Chain A
Amino acid sequence: NAGVTQTPKFRVLKTGQSMTLLCAQDMNHEYMYWYRQDPGMGLRLIHYSVGEGTTAKGEVPDGYNVSRLKKQNFLLGLESAAPSQTSVYFCASSYGQETQYFGPGTRLLVL
């Protein structure tokens, strides 16, 4: 089992560019999540999904969109990147509302 994987591992964007972060899990989990982690702060939930075809807003959803077309994949999109979106992004998945399993993270720098 690979668990939760994320691509890419690192990316540099210019302000206004767009990109998509991919998260994949092979544990057949229903729930998937996208978080951002900034220095000195706890992880903050961006969006989450409780099943294929469903998405919901988290704590800090502005500037991000998500899609869950397949159960094993959860995509996070930035339509027009801003320097405030410089962060480390973590994807996680869980069986119901049990313990979440996290991916290795994507480090994003927006110039």
Chain B
Amino acid sequence: KNQVEQSPQSLIILEGKNCTLQCNYTVSPFSNLRWYKQDTGRGPVSLTIMTFSENTKSNGRYTATLDADTKQSSLHITASQLSDSASYICVVSARGGYNKLIFGAGTRLAVHP
């Protein structure tokens, strides 16, 4: 069964600190992996996308990694800001006639001053 699991479920950090969010998936055949940021009361917004051959992708203070062998991805946030408070969703695409997206439940991050 195609699944995407994220950890931790929630996380509280102080402003300026770094943090790493984890994503494990069992999706086959794998097409790509995306990280989305979802602010409270808003729709998700894409942060990064990685294909099978990519193992690192950065977007400002966000750096995503992908290990296709172990089927794990992480999202590292550097020098956190209050505006980073949001849910971060890992989404894996399964290759097919229609590339089905499997969404993780998300990690809710709270950055405190």
Interface residues of A (CB under 8 A from B): 4, 40-45, 48, 50, 56, 90, 92, 97, 99-105
Query: Helix, strand, loop or mixed for chain A's interface?
Result: loop
In the complex, chain A residues whose CB is within 8 Å of the CB of B102: 42
| Interface pair A104/B4, CB less than 8 Å apart | no
Which listed residue (B4, B98, B105) contacts A97, Cβ 8 A?
A: B98
Q: Could you tell me the dominant secondary structure of chain B's interface residues?
A: strand
Q: How far is the CB of B93 from chain A (nearest CB, A)?
A: 8
User: What are 11 inter-chain pairs, A to B, with CB distance below 8 A?
Assistant: A40-B105, A42-B4, A43-B103, A90-B43, A97-B98, A99-B46, A102-B43, A102-B45, A104-B41, A105-B41, A105-B43
Closest 8 CB pairs of A and B: A102-B43, A42-B103, A43-B103, A97-B99, A99-B46, A42-B105, A102-B44, A42-B104
Interface residues of B (CB under 8 A from A): 4, 34, 41-46, 49, 89, 93, 98-106
Residues of A close to B89: CB separation below 8 A: 42-43
Residues on B with beta carbons closer than 8 Å to the beta carbon of A56: 98
* Closest B residue by C-beta to A50: B98
A-B contact count (CB 8 A): 41
Residue with the greatest number of chain B CB neighbours at <10 A, chosen from A41, A97, A103: A97
Is A99 touching B49 in the complex (CB atoms < 8 A)? yes
Shortest CB distance B104–A (Å): 5
User: Is the beta-carbon distance between B105 and A4 smaller than 8 angstroms?
Assistant: no
User: How many Å from the CB of A110 to the closest CB on chain B?
Assistant: 20
Are B46 and A4 within 8 A (Cβ)?
no
With both beta carbons as reference points, the residue of chain A lying nearest to B89 in the complex is identified as: A42
